[in-house]
Structure 1
């Protein structure tokens, strides 16, 4: 069953209000900037979200 409520979770790296929030909504993963709630969220399929996470982690390892 698809998630229909928007339960946003903040990044564990959130500091001073500059936060990224993520929610699972209707079978998608959505990412937003907590400072700009009027902006549309980025919407990922589960496979796209996995690829996004892998890319971010790979960038962290290369720096």
Structure 2
């Protein structure tokens, strides 16, 4: 859907993750933009690796 007026779009939804409905709130100006849901873990996993895979470049954090 095109948003010709460039007004903010707000979307609220519940998404099941591991059988539990989680509330997600999105805001932006283009419904066609992808959403990246990053779940953290208690382990020391470097999130930089996942970010590089998502955007395809080297990222300095």
TM-score normalised according to structure 2 size: 0.30
Structure of larger gyration radius? 2
**Larger relative contact order, structure 1 or 2 (CA cutoff 8 Å, min sep 6):** 2
Structure with the higher fraction of residues in helix conformation: 1
